[in-house]
Amino acid sequence: MGLMKVFSGSEILALALQERIEAIGVETVLKNNIQSARLGGFGELGQAVELFIQETEFSKANPVIEEFRMSI
């Protein structure tokens, strides 16, 4: 299976969700477009940080993701 995007937003919120998901044993991948754009020499606006998990882990992580979304 492939990766599934579960969050797109600010770096602070992405890191908070990443910590919660990894606490239940689900590995995550964080794609930081802010840093990529900065290193490339141009700026990035908007939803620049994305968090991914394996599709097969979604049922395990979904309660944590929903709880996080309700808290922000």
CA distance 61 to 72: 17
CA distance 35 to 26: 24
pLDDT at 48: 81
Which of 33, 28, 34, 70 is CA-nearest to residue 51?
Answer: 28
Question: Mind listing the pLDDT tens digit for each residue in 6-56?
Answer: 999 988 999 999 999 999 999 999 998 766 555 555 655 555 899 999 999
What global pTM score does this model have?
Answer: 0.82
